[in-house]
Amino acid sequence: MKRLAFYGGSFDPVHNGHMAIARTLLNQFQLDEFTFVPAFHAPHKRRAQPTSAYDRYAMLCLATQNDTKISASKMEIEMPERPFSVETLARLNEQFPENQIFFVMGADSWMEITAWREWESVLSASNHIVVTRPGVNVGFDHVTDEIRKTIVDLRGSEQPARINERSIFVTDAVNVNISATEIRRKVRENDPAWQVDVPPEVANYIEKYQIYS
């Protein structure tokens, strides 16, 4: 049985914080594969206008090209309709019935989880890994008692995660505070400081194709 992690999000753009999450979780959860799944457009953020899904996917491909266990998937951007996470997880469970699925989300997504369609079904459809980051308070009062029973708080632990049954794992193993919003702002304002926050290949892509300019 393989352990497969899927990290959904906008990745607008993918940055060094996202890559640190992938590499750290591979070790902490002894994962076999880690896959970024860029959303065509996050269904619970309909007012936002993200960059073209194809540009975001291209940047992910560039960022992951040298990591054998880390890759990017087109599964959401190729769907005829914009899928919700509950639908994506159903597809993953159907596609990988013999494997353990881990769905990765950031602290912001966790605190907004009750706004997701069929959020309780989402949280019961696979293992989940909630990655905290500095400045974002992670609480548990917004979810039900049944959901809270499945939470395994790994904050402060440097040991590999012990996985006995389907759970929601909360980890602070990645202490990187990089903001995609700030990267986009710096690009627009011609502030070169953003370049240290993304992989070099992604920086070249952003400059060459004038993404965010």
DSSP codes of every residue in 132-172: --TT----STTS-HHHHTTEEE-TT--SPPP-SSS-EEEE-
DSSP E strands in the chain: the ranges are 3-9, 33-38, 70-72, 100-106, 127-131, 151-153, 168-171
User: 49: which 2 tokens?
Assistant: 């206008």
The predicted structure's pLDDT at residue 175: 85
Residue 111 lies in a domain: yes
Q: How many domains does the chain have?
A: 1
Please indicate, yes or no, if residue 13 is contained in any of the structural domains.
Answer: yes
What integer pLDDT is reported at residue 47 of this predicted model?
45
Entry field: residues in the chain: 213
Residue 54, Cβ neighbours under 10 Å: how many?
Answer: 12
Domain that holds residue 90: 3-177
Looking at residue 9, which CATH number applies to its domain? 3.40.50.620
Question: Would you state the pLDDT for residue 134?
Answer: 82
Mean pLDDT by 10 residues, the chain (213 residues): 95 97 96 94 56 95 97 88 87 95 94 96 96 89 96 89 90 91 97 98 98 94
pLDDT value of residue 42: 54
The predicted pLDDT at position 68 comes to 97
Within-domain flag for 186: no
pLDDT at 50: 67
The answer to whether position 58 is within a domain reads yes
Domain assignment present for 26: yes
Q: How far is CA 92 from the centre of its chain?
A: 15
Residue at 205 is within a domain: no
**pTM for the full predicted model:** 0.93
